[in-house]
Structure 1
Amino acid sequence: MDKARVMTLFIGVVRARSFSQAAVEAGLTPQAVSKAVRQLEDHLGVRLFHRTTRSLSLTDEGQRLFELANPGLRLLDEAFDQVQNSRREVDGLIRIAAPTSFGTHFLAPLLCSFQQQYPGASFDLQLSDQFQDLIEGRIDVGFRAGHPPERNLVSRHIGDITLQICAAPSYIERHGAPRTAQELLQHRCTGFRQPNTGRLVPWELRGEGGTVYMDVPCVATFSTAEAEVEAVRAGMGIGQLATYMLGGDVAQGRLVHLLPELDTSNAGVYMYYQQRNRMPLRVRHFIDHVIAASQGAFTAARRRN
């Protein structure tokens, strides 16, 4: 016997004061509702209703069962209502996973602007350069740089990462500026080391036949993009940096954009999430907010630098 089902039907009959009306509300036949109540009576070993052709009333045992069970069912109804309403409300927590540098420089300002529109929204931003599983991490929206996730997820391309070769004016004063890709090999450069593999990432340069990769002489390597950018700003060496991290460094003279003909934009930024059909409204609004903010944002970053 499905106790939850027969109890729900029993309480429905009491509230409607009619087997036939309770059947209509439950989408069943009166015979099915009557059978369920008989199962409950047989299970309890008591009669729950006085039945005649013209009237229906509770026995003492039926009245006691109703008084004990009805508050619990009301709490269950309220729980269902609250969960359904949460899909329509923007207030609540949004869990986000993103690469460290992208989350710091691109997403953090978006969280602020989203909360200005929806003050009741809150965020749990989890930054890691490793791919994070949505289900295991209870993540609502994830971001990834490079290539889209190869999983059963909705993936949206929101922009391309442009890499520029930059140096501080102080470095150029001391060492001069390279005029060709080959001259980079005679300079002091910085490098990025993948934090999850430890692999030193070669520089990615635009060539006549497409993209070429070059191992440059590194005076320092970094496992976070933020540290590499700060080192280049301080004049340690020449770095290949993502434009979205630079703000207005080039336009304001803190950095010099070198060899612009070698810039590449091969890596994309992807937003991924599960299907939208049962998504809370706050998460849906946040996804739309990111898409709107990302349109032209990466192009604008290239123009500022």
Structure 2
Amino acid sequence: MDKARVITIFIGVVQAGSFSQAAVEAGLSAQAVSKAIRQLEDYLGVRLFHRTTRSLSLTDEGQRLFELANPGLRLLDEALDNIQNSREAVDGLIRVAAPTSLGTIVLAPLIAEFQQQYPAAHFDLQLADQFTDLISAKIDVGFRAGNPPERNLVARHIGDIALNIVAAPSYIERHGAPKHIGDLHKHRCTGFRHPNTGRLLPWELKGEGGTIYEDIPCVASFNTAESEVQAVRAGVGIGQLALYMLGDDLDTGRLVQLLPQQVASGGGVYMYYAQRTRMPLRVRHFIDFMAERAPALLPKSRKGR
């Protein structure tokens, strides 16, 4: 027995005052309404109505059930209306997952800008460099750098990562600057370990036939991009870093670009989500907003060049 269905029919009969009128209002046959009431009475083991050919009234047990069930049905109706209305309002919580550096540098300022337009939209921003499964983590929108997600997800490319070889002026004063790719093996360099595999990633460089991957010996390796950037700024060594993480370092001279002809792409930045349909309006607006605004914060080249 579908309890919710028969309770709904029972309340409809009480409010309509007859089986036939309740059937009309529910779009059912009178026989279906009568059968549902019999099922409910059999399940409860009590009679709910006094029925004659000319009148219908509640038994004591029927009156008690109506008094207990009717407020619950109203709450259910209100809950359904609330959820339906939420699809048409830009308010409520948006859960977002992203790599730490991307979330801090790109997403955080854009979330602030989005909330200026939609103050009733709230965010739960979860930052981790590992790939986040949207379903298990109950995430509305995820972001990923590198390759697009390989699962059954909708993925939108919102920008590319430009990798620049840079060093602090203090490092160059002590050790000089490389003139060619081969010179990197003679210098003190930093490296990045993949947060999922722990593997030291090769540098991506431009070769005659396209991108080449070079294993550069490092004097210090890091598993977060932010820590590697800070180390390069401190003069630990030469690093290959994403341009969007450098801010105005290159324009102010805090860092110096080396081998500029070797600027390579470190893959794309992707926004991904579970489905296109039945999406709350707040999430749909946020996705469209990020697709429009995020590329400006993912520069492909140094400002002024």
Q: Does TM-score exceed 0.5, indicating one fold? A: yes
Q: Which amino acid aligns with 2:151?
A: R
Q: Which amino acid aligns with 1:39?
A: Q
Task: Decide whether the 8 Å contact of 1:167 with 1:235 is kept in 2.
Answer: yes
Task: Decide whether the 8 Å contact of 2:243 with 2:299 is kept in 1.
Answer: no
Task: Decide whether the 8 Å contact of 1:95 with 1:138 is kept in 2.
Answer: yes
- For residues 104-146 of structure 1, give each alpha carbon's deviation from its aligned partner in whole angstroms, at most 9, with x where no partner exists: 2111111211222222222222111211111111111111111
**How far apart, CA to CA, are the structure 2 residues paired with 1:188 and 1:68?**
76
Identity %: 74
Secondary structure, in 3 states, of the residue corresponding to 1:63?
helix
**How far apart, CA to CA, are the structure 1 residues paired with 2:161 and 2:201?**
15
Task: Decide whether the 8 Å contact of 2:6 with 2:37 is kept in 1.
Answer: yes
Task: Decide whether the 8 Å contact of 1:248 with 1:304 is kept in 2.
Answer: no
**How far apart, CA to CA, are the structure 2 residues paired with 1:178 and 1:43?**
84
Q: Note the 1:163-202 alignment, pairs <5 A.
A: 163-202=163-202
- Give, in angstroms, the shift of residue 62 of structure 1: 2.6
Hey, what does 2:98 align to over in structure 1?
Answer: 98
Query: Which one is further off, 49-58 or 99-108?
Result: 49-58
Task: Decide whether the 8 Å contact of 2:106 with 2:297 is kept in 1.
Answer: no
Hey, what does 2:211 align to over in structure 1?
Answer: 211
Task: Decide whether the 8 Å contact of 2:169 with 2:256 is kept in 1.
Answer: yes
CA RMSD of aligned residues (A): 2.1
Q: Note the 1:16-55 alignment, pairs <5 A.
A: 16-52=16-52, 55=55
**How far apart, CA to CA, are the structure 1 residues paired with 2:214 and 2:196?**
21
Query: Which one is further off, 255-264 or 83-92?
Result: 83-92
Q: What are the ranges of 5 or more consecutive residues in structure 2 without an aligned counterpart?
A: none
Q: Note the 1:92-241 alignment, pairs <5 A.
A: 92-241=92-241
Hey, what does 1:260 align to over in structure 2?
Answer: 260
Number of equivalences: 305
TM-score by structure 1 length?
Answer: 0.92
- For residues 29-81 of structure 1, give each alpha carbon's deviation from its aligned partner in whole angstroms, at most 9, with x where no partner exists: 22211221122234444443344555443344332321222112112222222
Task: Decide whether the 8 Å contact of 1:247 with 1:304 is kept in 2.
Answer: no
Hey, what does 2:70 align to over in structure 1?
Answer: 70
Note closer, same or farther for the CA distance 1:16–1:151 as it changes in structure 2 (3 Å cut): same
Secondary structure, in 3 states, of the residue corresponding to 1:251?
helix
**How far apart, CA to CA, are the structure 2 residues paired with 1:165 and 1:157?**
24
Q: Which amino acid aligns with 1:181?
A: I
TM-score by structure 2 length?
Answer: 0.92
**How far apart, CA to CA, are the structure 2 residues paired with 1:103 and 1:144?**
10
Note closer, same or farther for the CA distance 1:46–1:203 as it changes in structure 2 (3 Å cut): closer
Q: What are the ranges of 5 or more consecutive residues in structure 1 without an aligned counterpart?
A: none
**How far apart, CA to CA, are the structure 2 residues paired with 1:86 and 1:243?**
39
- For residues 216-244 of structure 1, give each alpha carbon's deviation from its aligned partner in whole angstroms, at most 9, with x where no partner exists: 23221111111111111122221100011
- Give, in angstroms, the shift of residue 13 of structure 1: 1.5
Task: Decide whether the 8 Å contact of 1:96 with 1:125 is kept in 2.
Answer: yes
Q: Which amino acid aligns with 1:193?
A: R
Q: Note the 1:245-256 alignment, pairs <5 A.
A: 245-256=245-256
